[in-house]
Amino acid sequence: MDHILKIKNLSKSFGDKSVLNNLSINIERNKSQVIIGGSGTGKSVLLKCILGLIEPDNGEIYFNELILDKKSRADTDFHSKIGMLFQGAALFDSLNVQENITFGIKKIGEKTDNLKDIAVDKLRKVGLDSTVLDLYPSELSGGMQKRVALARAIARTPEILFFDEPTTGLDPIMADIINDLINEVIEEVGATAITITHDMESARKIADKISMLYEGNVIWTGDAKDINDSQNPYVDQFINGKSEGPIKINLND
Amino acid sequence: MNRYIYIIPEAIGRSFLRICASIGSIAVFFYDFVLCLITPPIYIKSLLSQLVRIGYNSLPVIGLTAFFTGGVLALQIYVGGSRFNAENIVASIVALGITRELGPVIAGLMLAGRVSASISAEIATMRVTEQIDALVTLSTNPMKYLVVPRVLAAVISLPILVIIADIIGIMGGFVVGTKSLGFIEQSYIKNTLDIIELRDVMSGLIKAAVFGFIVAFMGCYHGYKSTGGAQGVGRSTTLAVVSASILILASNYILTSLVFTN
Ligand SMILES: Nc1ncnc2c1ncn2[C@@H]1O[C@H](COP(=O)(O)OP(=O)(O)O)[C@@H](O)[C@H]1O
Ligand SMILES: [Mg+2]
């Protein structure tokens, strides 16, 4: 099987609190992989370990069979091969839409007209037009911010797209629109997608494969269509949103 | 009962460890900063906009505080001087006091309030809204893009602001001296020019560069390390202003006693 990303025995603790615990997962190329799990189970920490924003305590991550560490991320310009949509969009407040979208592709000597064309093209892919180019993030609605952030994430035609809770905080209709958009964009860019979410509706809609995270580990992986008969009591409890079941919620967390 | 014996030593130990931890973390941050400072790229556009924000926009605040400081200095020295029948000393002491001490310290403290606070609030907000993480995923080193331009801009701006503060402060003394204390304009100016030497002004400017570094570096450090949402932003802003102010006064004493005693 062709795996674009392999994660082996990843562990991460904060103080004496273990968040990821010997976690292993392989991501298939050109598939949409969704990782589900309750709040605070370490989904974002896992993503940040892959992106190099958090240093794991143990374990290895391989990208195209190449081990990822601080040095190899810099040497291979790993970040130019990925795009990340942050939970709160994370647009740069001090820059307008065009500057946000072209931030990663701005090269010395690149003409401004050129950058504008690129920005308009990316905006079109996320269903916006050139009227927003000069607006600042604070002038955009939440849904529009997500779209612009998505345009920024695909600006460098990445091999892998990461989505951190893409539908959290949006109303159900906007969430569905963003789900559709994610599917379109994955199709068009031809990238592998890794999405973390606790929104099951979103997971069902965008996933080829689903994995479930619990207590720092992957406890189930399978095709999205098989999730309803996983035979796994944890998965069943989570996807049906039941308070009764094997999943322990630590309210003191 | 026995447990209570340990409360005080434990508290002392904990604070001591916390202080060691923050000194270590500031040292690591400083090391990263130096590495980023000496390796390309330098973001010139950011540097220019920070020069405007930190330097140019601070002019009114610095000018006003310098003017009133010079004025009040003239009044107080007149009171003190007249007790020894030495009123004539006003012009000289205002000139030396402003250039050697009050110009840089007042400008530094005003900048700690104005600039440390805004830098740390801005960077802390970028931290909690994941904009700093976003920079990394767009192949941009946040230390180079955010910290280096701000620190450089402050180190360049503050000495220039202090030259202006020196001039305005001495003018404040001049206005009070001639308008309300009855000094003759020509002799006040002559006394001022006679006493000031290049090394007085230079020592103030070197202090200013150090204070500029402290102001921006503390703002960036506390913003960068901010955690815990909106409350964390507020906390880091307070920490930035307090630590910058204390460091300015402490380093002012050390610089004066070690280097600028003559
Ligand atoms: N930088 C950090 N420092 C300390 N604890 C952290 C940090 N980042 C995350 N955590 C902790 O790790 C746990 C998992 O967080 P996270 O990955 O954000 O959860 P989620 O699955 O909701 O995305 C949480 O309990 C959180 O408090
Ligand atoms: Mg999360």
Query: What ipTM does this complex have?
Result: 0.90
pTM equals 0.89
Quote the pLDDT of residue A12. 94
Q: Are strands A217-223 and A209-214 parallel, antiparallel or unpaired?
A: antiparallel
Q: Is the CB of A39 under 6 A from ligand 1?
A: yes
Is the pLDDT at A108 greater than 60? The verdict is no
The Cα B199–Cα B205 span in angstroms is 10
- Confidence band for B191, pLDDT divided at 50, 70 and 90: confident
Radius of gyration of chain A from its Cα atoms, rounded to whole angstroms: 19
Q: How far is the CA of A22 from the centre of ligand 2 (A)?
A: 19
Q: Which residues, in sequence order, are bridge partners of residue A34?
A: A195, A210
Pocket test for ligand 1, best of A10, A11, A13, A14 (most atoms within 8 A of CB): A14
At residue A48's C-alpha, the angle toward residues A232 and A123, to 5°, is 100
Q: Estimate the crossing angle of helix B103-111 against helix B198-224, to 10 degrees.
A: 20
User: Domain segments of chain B: what residues?
Assistant: 54-258
pLDDT single digits (tens) A26-37? 999 999 999 999
Q: Can you list the domains of chain A with their CATH numbers?
A: 3-240 (3.40.50.300)
Judged by CB atoms closer than 8 Å, whether chains meet at B133 and A90 is answered as yes
Q: What percent of chain B has pLDDT over 90?
A: 66
Judged by CB atoms closer than 8 Å, whether chains meet at A93 and B133 is answered as no
Mean pLDDT throughout B190-219?
91
Radius of gyration of chain B from its Cα atoms, rounded to whole angstroms: 22
Q: What is the side-by-side order of every strand in the sheet holding A58-63?
A: A17-28, A3-14, A58-63, A66-67
Q: Hey, whose CA ends up nearest to atom 24 of ligand 1?
A: A40
- Structure token digits, residue B147: 């910290």
pLDDT single digits (tens) A170-181? 888 888 988 998
Q: Is the CB of A36 under 6 A from ligand 1?
A: no
Q: Which residues, other chains included, contact A134 with Cβ-Cβ below 8 Å and sequence gap of 6+?
A: A96, A97, A98
What are the CA-CA distances from residue B75 to residues A248, B47, B78, B106, B183 (Å)?
72, 40, 5, 18, 12
Determine which helix (DSSP H) or strand (DSSP E) holds A73, and give its type and residue range.
helix A70-75
Query: What integer best gives the mean pLDDT of chain A?
Result: 88
Is the pLDDT at A109 greater than 60? The verdict is no
Query: What integer best gives the mean pLDDT of chain B?
Result: 91
- Hunting for tokens 């025995």 — which residue is that? A9
Is the pLDDT at B80 greater than 60? The verdict is yes
Instruction: Tell whether A137 lies on the interface with B, counting CB pairs under 8 A.
Output: no
Answer with the residue of higher pLDDT: A74 or A6.
A6
Which residues of chain B approach chain A closer than 8 Å at the C-beta? 125-126, 129-131, 133-134, 136-140
